[in-house]
A = this chain, B = another copy of it.
Amino acid sequence: MASPLPRDPIADARLNWERHGWSDVAAPMAAITAIMRTQQILLARIEGVLKPFGLTFARYELLALLSFARSGALPMNKASALLQVHPTSVTNAVDRLQQAGLVIRSPHPTDGRTTLIELTQEGRTLAKRATAALNSEVFAQSGFADQDVDQLIGILGTFRRNAGDFSE
């Protein structure tokens, strides 16, 4: 770990924005930059916990998604939509998960274009163990106060809806 900086670099950036006459957008700039940095910190923690399982966050997300599908299988385009990532990213993740024996590709029964991703028994077991690890080592010690968690869910939920993630 790098040693802490003496000053908050984002607060400094905000001051620079204000000094240059961009005070009207200095606060949103700081908030957005803070989101970028927070994501980076959280991702590093998550990947650290998943590494012993031979998983990355991208692969874990797919595994977890499949484990919640009653049938344990999903079309690739559905997975792409739910995970909100590009189809090629799903192809990439499935390639590696399949190579590790955690999922298998199978043809869709009625649509010849579609490929189903199916969890193997091994994949299901690993998903369970990885989730337990994330729950205890990341989510249970998130570093956010309970009330802040609620604030974040509300603020970011509104943002995502306005950004067109979902309509509900």
Q: Complex: how many Å from CA A81 to CA B134?
A: 28
How far does the Cβ of A162 sit from chain B's closest Cβ, in whole Å? 5
Residues of B within 8 A of A30 (CB): 149, 153
Q: Are A168 and B38 in contact (CB under 8 A)?
A: no
Interface residue tally on A, bucketed by range? 35 or more
Copies of this chain held together in the complex: 2
Contact of A43 among B28, B36, B158 (CB under 8 A): B36
Enumerate chain B residues within 8 angstroms of A166, measured Cβ to Cβ.
Answer: 4-9
> Would you call B28 and A35 a contact (CB within 8 A)?
no
Is B160 touching A84 in the complex (CB atoms < 8 A)? no
Complex Cα spacing A166 to B143, Å: 15
Query: What residues of B have a CB within 8 angstroms of the CB of A28 in the complex?
Result: 139-140, 142, 144, 149
A42-B32, A81-B5, A160-B8 in contact; A27/B143 too (CB < 8 A)?
Answer: no
A residues near B (Cβ < 8 Å) are 1-2, 4-11, 13, 16, 22, 24-25, 27-32, 34-43, 64, 68, 81-84, 131, 134-135, 138-140, 142-144, 146, 148-153, 155-168
10 shortest A-B CB distances, which residue pairs? A39-B39, A25-B139, A34-B156, A28-B142, A4-B167, A31-B152, A5-B166, A28-B139, A148-B155, A31-B149
